[in-house]
């Protein structure tokens, strides 16, 4: 099937019906004919697979229609390249977006199957670490919903993000074998494979015209095989495609062994090449210097670019119009080798001269940066790159050479400046700076929140900003209201629906119409009832996962995100200790549940220690009769998309307390505010824009600003000097140090106390007094239920700016230059339901 299928009357689709009888029939058929089970013997998982197969038929049908329309209409396409997609469960999201959730639930009920019971058996597709991966998933959903011709490209990891168990208070990682029961949502495309080469050497050919052409020869070849995941837009609109690549050994895997007659060895060794797509690296904030990681990056980039160029040529577009017909977004630097790979394909495979290839490449690519932290910036040793990707290293040298010549011309004599700008870092044993390659090879570079972009321009990319100021733009992140409101919070959705018209689901700007209801008593009361039910739902899950019983009539105070020093889970933990001590001292303290959730990178010992200390403090707090149900502390294990959809709607207070200047944006902050939690936060990332949107009286802002943090650091004040800034801080830290909360891990607590007192690189102690004050302020407001509900409802109504649809429109208009191409009704089934 090519992209240019001519309209052939024999290929007209006869759409499947989407009414309850039609669905019932399809589900029963799928159970017998695809799953292979007698309905009398079917397990809940069999039913899950049967319904998924029945729905997949309908989603792929719409994909075919969408693809045909894009081919017919000569659209410009957007390609999103990301190493990570944190998708979560697909059944409910696909049903809802296709507009057939309720009718499918009905069909299942007719068959005697409970939708909720089977839906929770689906494994999360956790092909990502955190915010960056979830953002990619939200962007794909929004591109489909708004009708943009968007394609996602990534890796089909056999094992996704590890499963976190808590054993003896500590995190233990278990492999995430998410494909073990098979995956009804993927369409394997064994015919869509591309060879990807590693190692080998470059042979230069001197042409008669004086040009040199290069051939990359020998080395090892791996095949990238496509798996397609159709992604439905909300309510019977477009279906876009996410294409994930899996590594397969080439058919005649290792000729050497074959020739030596060692057939068994040749077959056994095929495993090695297939390890490339085996596992997601579970690091969310440090670059991974491993050869396998570099191979993963190049593997999916090369396959994706070959596929993109193939599609372009199949559509019979001239190769030099590539950048007119396609835009490619790099999700951080992980796919930045694409700049060199694109040049290689244009130069070596399509014989385009350098200057023209370079113009195409630069117009094609744009790059999103997600962090300023030095340890997260990817650099590869030149020697490694030369060995694994010799042709690319040569191309990178030339890109760098031409770039430096250009700046030398514009800024004569500034040798230090050139050294700093160079793609090659000469000071740390010659390394390739992937961020420099990405900036030089892109026409736009964006940060993900206003503060982040402005800090990017002042620090990390200050030199580049001097060379090309117009290249740097901001695109503040957003979240999809379909998952994070409609699916996660049906109660609040219904409440909004009962007050304003329903177009807010596509156009979150319309949520503004809900604002007047913040001062309506009945709406506030209904809001509190919704919150209460959401808390009951969460309390049941907490009990199931941890055995801890929590009340549903108290404040739920949540910090849910990856565990990292800069995110400052220790700041929240100190506050738990403060409350504990105050209750023990007989003070009257507002009852609350503090809930933490998040994974630590397996090699990040400090983060793992923080999890252990949280769990040990929680254990003492939760078992102390003196607390009398006024304080419970929960570490919710294995935080993932599906648990986020339960936790977020139940939250009252959203902890966004990173050290200012370190959190690029945050997106959990947006999800929580959209669900009516008030933020307690620093002036960091998108918190600033959230404050501007909701109003300073509806958010609790505290602590040092990014500038103050820099100034404070420069002063070199020892952290211990802050112990008297708050009446209890000293005794809290001492309790930790002396092992009051330790369950045998006394040494660990002493070490954490020492770390705070002597190092405290993220200024936990310096910000503590301000934080404690802000918490007290939140507590006071919470005691006035009407005031709190009003502020919470204003948060909901004022979140329109944080819709991912706005984010995607900004990318489309300011960076990609693409327009929506909605597949308009009549959809195949438009008249059947």
Residue 699 beta carbon to ligand NBY: minimum distance, rounded to whole angstroms: 18
Backbone angles phi and psi of 474, in degrees to 5 = -105, 140
Query: Is 730 an annotated catalytic residue?
Result: no
Query: Any idea how long the chain is?
Result: 833
Catalytic residue among 63, 370, 524, 535: 370
Query: Is 531 an annotated catalytic residue?
Result: no
Q: Which two tokens stand for residue 455?
A: 């800090």
Q: Which is nearer to ligand NBY, 559 or 665 (CB)?
A: 665
Query: Is 544 an annotated catalytic residue?
Result: no
Q: Which is nearer to ligand NBY, 97 or 129 (CB)?
A: 129
Distance CA 588, CA 610 (A): 28
User: Taking Cα atoms as reference points, which of 456, 283, 282 lies closest to residue 375?
Assistant: 283
355 burial class (0-12, 13-18, 19+ CB within 10 angstroms)?
Answer: exposed
Q: Which is nearer to ligand NBY, 86 or 579 (CB)?
A: 86
Distance CA 202, CA 216 (A): 4
Q: Which is nearer to ligand NBY, 193 or 665 (CB)?
A: 665
User: Taking Cα atoms as reference points, which of 612, 614, 578, 623 lies closest to residue 596?
Assistant: 614
Interface with ligand NBY by CB under 6 A: which residues? 129-132, 135, 281, 283-285, 287-288, 370-371, 376, 448, 477, 663-667, 685
Distance CA 446, CA 369 (A): 6
Q: Which is nearer to ligand NBY, 323 or 449 (CB)?
A: 449
Query: Is 66 an annotated catalytic residue?
Result: no
Which segments of 233-311 are extended strands (E)? 239-249
Q: How many CB atoms lie within 10 A of CB 509?
A: 14
Task: Render 331-367 in DSSP notation, one character per residue.
Answer: ESSTTTTHHHHHHHIIIIIT---HHHHHHHHHHHEEE
- With a CB cutoff of 8 Å and minimum separation 6, the contacts of 388 are 198, 199, 291, 294, 295, 298
Residue 366 beta carbon to ligand NBY: minimum distance, rounded to whole angstroms: 15
Q: Which is nearer to ligand NBY, 158 or 663 (CB)?
A: 663
Residue 207 beta carbon to ligand NBY: minimum distance, rounded to whole angstroms: 40
Q: Which is nearer to ligand NBY, 642 or 665 (CB)?
A: 665
- With a CB cutoff of 8 Å and minimum separation 6, the contacts of 420 are 463
Q: Which residues of 167-190 are buried (b: 16+ CB within 10 A; e: fewer)?
A: eebbbebeebebeeeebbbbbeee
Residue 287 beta carbon to ligand NBY: minimum distance, rounded to whole angstroms: 4
Catalytic residue among 667, 679, 682, 807: 667
Q: How many CB atoms lie within 10 A of CB 302?
A: 26
Q: Which is nearer to ligand NBY, 287 or 357 (CB)?
A: 287
Q: Which is nearer to ligand NBY, 16 or 373 (CB)?
A: 373
Residue 475 near residue 811 (C-beta atoms within 8 A)? yes
Query: Is 608 an annotated catalytic residue?
Result: no
Residue with tokens 């949520």: 511
Residue 129 beta carbon to ligand NBY: minimum distance, rounded to whole angstroms: 4
Helices 764-783 & 569-584, crossing angle to 10 degrees? 60
DSSP bridge pairs for 153: 81, 243
Which segments of 398-515 are extended strands (E)? 424-425, 431-433, 444-447, 472-474
State how far the alpha carbon of 102 is from the alpha carbons of 20, 95, 97, 489, 810, in Å. 9, 8, 11, 16, 33
User: Closest-CB residue for ligand NBY?
Assistant: 131
Residue 373 beta carbon to ligand NBY: minimum distance, rounded to whole angstroms: 9
Q: Which is nearer to ligand NBY, 376 or 560 (CB)?
A: 376
Q: Which is nearer to ligand NBY, 664 or 823 (CB)?
A: 664
Catalytic residue among 49, 334, 567, 568: 567
Catalytic residue among 562, 564, 575, 726: 562
- Half-sphere CA count of 10, side-chain side, radius 13 A: 0
Residue 84 beta carbon to ligand NBY: minimum distance, rounded to whole angstroms: 6
What are the contacts of 547-550 at 24+ separation with CB within 8 A? 548/622, 548/632, 548/634, 550/593, 550/632, 550/634
What are the contacts of 772-775 at 24+ separation with CB within 8 A? 772/575, 772/578, 772/726, 773/702, 774/680, 774/700, 774/701, 774/702, 774/703, 775/575, 775/680, 775/700
Distance CA 438, CA 446 (A): 11
Catalytic residue among 24, 56, 243, 671: 671
Residue 153 beta carbon to ligand NBY: minimum distance, rounded to whole angstroms: 17
Please tell me whether residue 442 adopts helix, strand or coil conformation.
Answer: coil
Residue 134 beta carbon to ligand NBY: minimum distance, rounded to whole angstroms: 7
Catalytic residue among 344, 561, 572, 599: 561
Angle, alpha carbons 528-529-530 (nearest 5°): 90
Residue 492 beta carbon to ligand NBY: minimum distance, rounded to whole angstroms: 23
End-to-end C-alpha distance for the chain, whole angstroms: 30
- With a CB cutoff of 8 Å and minimum separation 6, the contacts of 148 are 78, 240, 808, 812, 818, 819, 820, 821
Distance CA 389, CA 344 (A): 11
Which segments of 258-391 are extended strands (E)? 326-331, 365-368, 379-381
Query: Is 370 an annotated catalytic residue?
Result: yes
Backbone angles phi and psi of 154, in degrees to 5 = -165, -160
Residue 559 beta carbon to ligand NBY: minimum distance, rounded to whole angstroms: 14
**Quick one: how far is CA 818 from the chain centroid?**
23
Distance CA 686, CA 448 (A): 8
Residue 424 beta carbon to ligand NBY: minimum distance, rounded to whole angstroms: 20
Q: Which is nearer to ligand NBY, 98 or 672 (CB)?
A: 672
Residue 331 beta carbon to ligand NBY: minimum distance, rounded to whole angstroms: 9
- With a CB cutoff of 8 Å and minimum separation 6, the contacts of 499 are 513, 514, 517, 523
Q: Which is nearer to ligand NBY, 195 or 289 (CB)?
A: 289
Q: List active site positions.
A: 370, 561-562, 567, 667, 671
């Amino acid at each position: 099937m090519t992209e240019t299928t001519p309209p052939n009357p024999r290929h007209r689709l006869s759409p499947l019906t989407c009414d309850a009888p039609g669905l019932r029939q399809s589900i029963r058929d799928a159970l017998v004919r695809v799953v292979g089970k007698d309905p009398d013997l079917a397990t809940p998982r069999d039913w899950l697979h049967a319904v998924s197969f029945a729905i997949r038929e309908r989603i792929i049908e719409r994909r075919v229609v969408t693809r045909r329309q894009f081919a017919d209409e000569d659209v410009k396409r957007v390609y999103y390249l990301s190493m990570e997609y944190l998708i979560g469960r697909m059944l409910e999201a696909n049903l809802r977006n296709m507009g057939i959730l309720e009718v499918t639930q009905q069909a299942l009920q007719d068959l005697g199957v409970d939708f909720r019971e089977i839906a929770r058996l689906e494994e999360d597709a956790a092909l990502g670490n955190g915010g960056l991966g979830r953002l990619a998933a939200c962007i794909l959903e929004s591109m489909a919903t708004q009708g943009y011709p968007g394609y996602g490209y990534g890796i089909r990891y056999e094992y996704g993000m590890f499963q976190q168990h808590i054993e003896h208070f500590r995190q233990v990682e278990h492999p995430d074998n998410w494909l073990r029961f098979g995956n009804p949502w993927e369409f394997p495309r064994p015919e869509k494979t591309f060879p990807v080469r590693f190692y080998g050497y470059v042979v230069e050919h001197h042409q008669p015209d004086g040009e040199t052409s290069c051939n990359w020869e020998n080395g090892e070849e791996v095949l990238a095989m496509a798996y397609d995941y159709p992604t439905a837009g909300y309510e019977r609109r477009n279906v876009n495609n996410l294409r994930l690549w899996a590594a397969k050994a080439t058919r005649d895997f290792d000729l050497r062994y074959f020739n030596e007659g060692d057939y068994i060895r040749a077959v056994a060794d095929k495993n090695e090449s297939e390890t490339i797509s085996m596992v997601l690296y579970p690091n969310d904030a440090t670059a991974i210097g491993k050869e396998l990681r570099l191979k993963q990056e190049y593997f999916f980039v090369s396959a994706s670019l070959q596929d993109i160029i193939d599609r372009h040529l199949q559509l019979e577009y001239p190769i030099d119009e590539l950048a007119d017909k396609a835009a490619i977004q790099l999700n951080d630097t992980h796919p930045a080798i694409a700049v060199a790979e694109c040049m290689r394909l244009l130069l070596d495979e399509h014989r385009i001269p350098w200057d023209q290839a370079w113009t195409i490449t630069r117009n094609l690519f744009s790059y999103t940066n997600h962090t300023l932290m030095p340890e997260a910036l990817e650099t590869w040793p030149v020697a490694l790159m030369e060995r694994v990707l010799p042709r690319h290293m040569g191309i990178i040298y030339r890109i760098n050479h031409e770039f430096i010549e250009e700046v030398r011309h514009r800024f004569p004599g500034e040798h230090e400046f050139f050294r700093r700008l160079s793609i090659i870092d000469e000071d740390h044993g010659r390394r390739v700076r992937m961020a420099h390659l990405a900036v030089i090879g892109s026409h736009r570079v964006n940060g993900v929140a206003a503060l982040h972009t402005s800090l990017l321009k002042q620090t990390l990319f200050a030199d580049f900003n001097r060379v090309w100021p117009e290249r740097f733009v901001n695109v503040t992140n957003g979240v999809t209201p379909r998952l994070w409101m409609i699916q996660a919070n049906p109660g609040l959705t219904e409440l909004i629906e009962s007050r304003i018209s329903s177009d807010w689901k596509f156009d979150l700007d319309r949520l503004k119409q809900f604002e007047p209801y913040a001062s309506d008593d009945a709406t506030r009361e209904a809001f509190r009832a919704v919150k209460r039910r959401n808390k009951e739902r969460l309390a049941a899950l907490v009990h199931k996962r941890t055995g801890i019983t929590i009340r549903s009539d108290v404040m739920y105070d949540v910090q849910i995100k990856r565990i990292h020093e800069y995110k400052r889970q220790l700041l929240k933990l100190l506050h738990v200790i403060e409350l504990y001590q105050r209750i023990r001292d007989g003070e009257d303290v507002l009852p609350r549940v503090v809930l933490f959730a998040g994974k630590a990178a397996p090699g990040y010992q400090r983060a793992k220690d923080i999890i252990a200390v949280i769990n040990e403090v929680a254990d003492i707090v939760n078992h102390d009769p003196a607390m009398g149900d006024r304080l419970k502390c929960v570490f919710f294990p294995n935080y993932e998309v599906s648990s986020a959809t339960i936790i977020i709607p139940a939250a009252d207070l959203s902890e966004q307390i990173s050290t200012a200047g370190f959190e690029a944006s945050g997106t959990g902050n947006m999800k929580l505010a959209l669900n009516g939690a008030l933020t307690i936060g620093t002036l960091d990332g998108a918190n600033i824009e959230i404050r501007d949107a909701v109003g300073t009286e509806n958010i609790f802002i505290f602590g040092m600003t990014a500038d103050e943090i820099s100034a404070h650091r420069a002063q070199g004040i020892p952290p211990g000097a802050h112990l008297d800034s708050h009446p209890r801080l000293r005794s809290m830290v001492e309790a930790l140090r002396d092992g009051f909360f330790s369950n045998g891990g006394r040494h660990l607590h002493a070490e954490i106390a020492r770390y705070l007192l002597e190092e405290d690189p993220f200024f936990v102690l310096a910000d503590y007094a301000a934080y404690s004050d802000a918490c007290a302020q939140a507590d006071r407001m919470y005691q006035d239920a009407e005031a709190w509900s009003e502020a919470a409802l204003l948060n909901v109504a004022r979140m329109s700016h944080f819709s991912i649809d706005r984010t995607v429109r900004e990318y489309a208009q300011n960076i990609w230059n693409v327009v929506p191409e909605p597949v308009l009704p009549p959809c195949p089934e438009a008249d059947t339901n």
